[in-house]
């Protein structure tokens, strides 16, 4: 039986809610609750316009347990949508199978605009590349709006000689097979992002998989493994206290979550490199285009609000609203890139 590829993804994402990396789960859940109280049921005329939708309570399915990053981001979005749409948006956690259970429930729901999925990379982008899922994300789910991206940071031990990303790349390129890179597990988002980075630059390094980002980072910062590209939530505490050297962040425009760290796109010379663990709102197939458009516009207003933006910053996710078409394009480009590196490197999950 194949291992669920989202197990490794969950490990890195779950760190976003652990005390070592972020505020406590209780504090963040409290912030979301406070947002609910402050939002009330005020209706935004600019979004609702003349539409009669919505005229009843909406349900947001979160395919992860309470306190996980997508749960916290989804709750913030639900509270913001309550304020903007003028109807309650109730969160239902349907965790299991690396996010696939809840994602499948949302995919099979009625396309009437009253079921929303808090989607994320693991069950929507990564899992279908390794196994047959009970849903086809490109057919059964409609992207509404991207909410944000969890940035990944390229780090080494603090005493590694490469002074910047260009120097690091040159050292690896000049010595094929000499250097090593760690990941939180074979097939994890961190692994696929690093393989994409290596492929874009023609780097040949040896992959050393771990069971989670913590042991991977431990061996990187002590010099046992040369480098890794892991979540900002996992890496930044080490960078801030000088136990790791940061060379670049995986998002094209950089990130407020990683101040002072340049984008790998420019630092390493990879034009257009823009990868992260995405989080966004999706709806089941068959949802009318007018409702999809209305929800997308509503999400723009939600993500522009300071209270929601503050929550995303605190869970180390870059606030990056993208409307339906841009979100769909990002998903297609990321899926193709990951699919290509999986095939090129013959990546298979461990049994």
| Alpha carbons 181 and 280: distance in angstroms, whole number | 29
pTM summary value = 0.83
Specify whether 76 is located in the same domain as 17. yes
Nearest to 214 by CA among 200, 195, 197, 235: 235
With residue 130 as reference, give the H or E element that holds it. Answer: helix 127-130
Specify whether 246 is located in the same domain as 176. yes
Give the range of the structural domain holding residue 185, as residue numbers without chain letter. Answer: 152-275
pLDDT for the residue 38: 44
| Alpha carbons 287 and 309: distance in angstroms, whole number | 27
With residue 305 as reference, give the H or E element that holds it. Answer: none
| Alpha carbons 351 and 334: distance in angstroms, whole number | 25
Indicate the SS3 state at residue 105.
Answer: helix
pLDDT for the residue 117: 98
| Alpha carbons 349 and 69: distance in angstroms, whole number | 24
pLDDT for the residue 349: 81
Indicate the SS3 state at residue 321.
Answer: strand
CB neighbourhood size of 70 (10 A):
31
Q: Is there a domain that residue 239 lies in?
A: yes
Specify whether 281 is located in the same domain as 218. no
- The 8-class DSSP code of residue 98 comes to G
As a whole number of Å, the end-to-end CA separation of the chain is: 6
Nearest to 15 by CA among 264, 259, 258, 212: 212
Specify whether 317 is located in the same domain as 258. no
- The 8-class DSSP code of residue 262 comes to P
Specify whether 106 is located in the same domain as 132. yes
Is the CB of residue 142 less than 8 Å from the CB of residue 118? no
Positive or negative: CA dihedral 279, 280, 281, 285:
negative
Nearest to 160 by CA among 230, 241, 231, 225: 225
Nearest 5°: CA angle at 18, between 15 and 24?
A: 140
Report the CATH number that the domain containing residue 70 is assigned in CATH.
Answer: 3.40.190.150
Specify whether 200 is located in the same domain as 245. yes
Residues near 167 by beta carbon (within 8 Å), at least 6 away in sequence: 161
Specify whether 71 is located in the same domain as 59. yes
Tally of domains within the chain: 2
Instruction: Identify any residues that bridge with 61 across adjacent strands, giving them in sequence order.
Output: 92, 117
With residue 314 as reference, give the H or E element that holds it. Answer: helix 306-314
pLDDT for the residue 27: 52
Q: Which of 231, 256, 275 is the last residue of a domain?
A: 275
In order of 108, 164, 274, the CA distances from 158 in angstroms are: 49, 12, 25
Nearest to 281 by CA among 115, 128, 138, 39: 115
Specify whether 142 is located in the same domain as 203. no
Q: Which of 240, 275, 310 is the last residue of a domain?
A: 275
pLDDT 10s per residue in the chain (351 long)? 433 333 333 333 333 333 334 444 445 555 554 454 444 444 444 444 446 999 999 999 999 999 999 999 999 999 999 999 999 999 999 999 999 999 999 999 999 999 999 999 999 999 999 999 999 999 999 999 999 999 999 999 999 999 999 999 999 999 999 999 999 999 999 999 999 999 999 999 999 999 999 999 999 999 999 999 999 999 999 999 999 999 999 999 999 999 999 999 999 999 999 999 999 999 999 999 999 999 999 999 999 999 999 999 999 999 999 999 999 999 999 999 999 999 999 998 875
Specify whether 29 is located in the same domain as 145. yes
């Amino acid at each position: 039986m194949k291992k669920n590829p989202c197990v490794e993804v969950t490990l890195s994402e779950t760190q976003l809610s652990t005390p070592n990396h972020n505020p406590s789960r209780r504090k963040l859940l409290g912030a979301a609750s406070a947002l609910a109280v402050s939002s009330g049921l005020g209706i935004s005329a600019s979004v609702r316009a003349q539409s009669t939708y919505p005229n009843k309570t909406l349900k947001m399915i979160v395919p992860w347990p309470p306190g996980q990053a997508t749960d916290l981001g989804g709750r913030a979005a639900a509270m913001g949508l309550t304020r903007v749409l003028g109807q309650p948006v109730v969160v239902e956690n349907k965790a299991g199978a690396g996010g696939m259970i809840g994602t499948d429930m949302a995919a099979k729901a009625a396309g009437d605009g009253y079921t929303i999925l808090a989607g994320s990379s693991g069950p929507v982008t990564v899992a279908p590349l390794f196994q047959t899922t009970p849903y086809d994300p490109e057919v059964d789910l409609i992207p509404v709006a991207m909410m944000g991206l969890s940035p990944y940071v390229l780090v080494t031990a603090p005493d590694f000689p490469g002074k910047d990303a260009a120097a690091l790349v040159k050292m690896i390129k000049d010595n094929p097979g000499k250097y090593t890179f760690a990941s939180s597990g074979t097939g994890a988002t961190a692994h696929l992002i690093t393989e994409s980075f290596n492929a874009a630059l023609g780097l040949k390094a040896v992959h050393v998989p771990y069971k989670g980002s913590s042991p991977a980072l431990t061996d990187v910062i002590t010099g046992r493994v040369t480098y890794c590209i892991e979540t900002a939530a996992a890496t930044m505490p080490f960078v801030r206290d000088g136990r790791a050297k940061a060379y670049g962040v995986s998002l094209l425009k950089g990130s407020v979550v990683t101040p002072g760290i340049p984008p790998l796109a420019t630092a390493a010379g990879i034009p257009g490199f823009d990868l992260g663990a995405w989080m966004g709102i999706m709806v089941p197939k068959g949802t009318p285009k007018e409702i999809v458009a209305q929800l997308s516009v509503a999400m723009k207003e939600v993500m522009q609000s300071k209270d929601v933006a503050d929550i995303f910053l605190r869970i180390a996710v870059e606030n990056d609203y993208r409307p339906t078409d841009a979100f769909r394009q990002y998903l297609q480009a990321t899926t193709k890139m990951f699919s290509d590196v999986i095939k090129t490197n013959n990546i298979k999950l461990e049994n």
